[in-house]
């Protein structure tokens, strides 16, 4: 199972909780990489912790701004040597995506840029309310093409769209949030799938948050291993 990449969502500003999540999801049977989002990065101790972190991690900032501002944001992260993945919103457009990928390559040759498409908390109805005329799958495919054209490394979309993206783009990294272990609550997610189903849909990696971090983390990690077996 080491070929299956799992990202654990460290969604808390509590440093002790972060350390506990990282420690208790460690497994020789799975490749588990921590994903740090806005909550931890903006917290009092978050930035300093990541400066000193010694293992690969994903910084999920979902950067979305005019190219100049987005580039400045990426440049300010160059001291985070172990940051292996960074997220940007595809909504920022082709020029922003291209600029960020170019800058990322300069500051850290191992840094992979992932384009975030439609958040897994949204569905077709939500898109219509925003003003989109395309449904989720149509829009994700359109955005995947933009990511590919920009030279970025991968796409963040739900596992429900992963198969159609993979058919069009064989070499893109496809990372899927909205993952729940069987029987777990969907909470605020609309487009969810189990880990096993997601990997059957040809994803490169999955993001798991509450299914791992809520309750007994070690037991939840064992449940994940058993489920994938």
Q: Is the CB of residue 158 less than 8 Å from the CB of residue 191?
A: yes
Q: What is the pLDDT of residue 2?
A: 58
Q: In degrees, to the nearest 5, what angle opens at C-alpha 116 toward C-alphas 110 and 121?
A: 140
CATH of the domain at 146: 3.20.20.70
Domain that holds residue 218: 5-228
H helix and E strand count, the chain: 11, 8
Q: What is the pLDDT of residue 15?
A: 96
Number of domains in the chain: 1
Cα–Cα dist 145/197, whole Å:
24
Mean pLDDT by 10 residues, the chain (229 residues): 84 96 88 95 94 96 95 93 96 95 92 93 90 91 96 94 94 92 69 88 93 92 91
Q: Is the CB of residue 154 less than 8 Å from the CB of residue 172?
A: yes
Tell me the per-residue pLDDT of 107-117, one tens digit each, with 9 for 90 and over. Answer: 998 999 999 99
Catalytic residue numbers, as ranges: 62
Tell me the per-residue pLDDT of 187-199, one tens digit each, with 9 for 90 and over. Answer: 666 677 899 999 9
Q: Supply the pTM of this predicted model.
A: 0.91
């Amino acid at each position: 199972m080491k070929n299956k990449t799992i990202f654990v969502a460290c969604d808390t500003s509590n440093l002790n909780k972060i350390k506990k999540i990282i420690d208790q999801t460690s497994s020789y049977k799975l490749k588990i990489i921590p994903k740090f989002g806005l909550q931890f990065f903006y917290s009092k101790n978050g930035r300093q912790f990541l400066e000193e972190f010694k293992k690969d991690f994903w910084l999920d900032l979902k950067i979305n701004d005019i190219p100049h501002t987005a580039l400045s944001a990426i440049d300010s992260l160059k001291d985070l040597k172990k940051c292996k993945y960074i997220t940007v919103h595809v909504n920022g457009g082709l020029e922003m995506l291209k600029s960020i990928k170019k800058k990322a390559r300069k500051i850290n040759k191992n840094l992979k840029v992932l384009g975030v498409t439609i958040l897994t908390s949204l569905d077709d109805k939500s898109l219509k309310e925003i003003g989109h005329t395309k449904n989720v799958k149509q829009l994700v495919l359109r955005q995947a093409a933009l990511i590919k054209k920009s030279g970025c490394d991968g796409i963040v979309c739900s596992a429900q769209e992963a198969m159609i993206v993979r058919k069009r783009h064989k070499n893109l990294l496809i990372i899927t949030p909205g993952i729940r272990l069987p029987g777990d609550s969907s909470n605020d997610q609309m487009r969810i799938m189990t880990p096993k189903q997601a990997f059957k849909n040809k994803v490169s990696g999955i993001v798991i948050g509450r299914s791992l971090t809520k309750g007994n983390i070690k037991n939840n990690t064992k449940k994940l291993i058993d489920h994938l077996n």
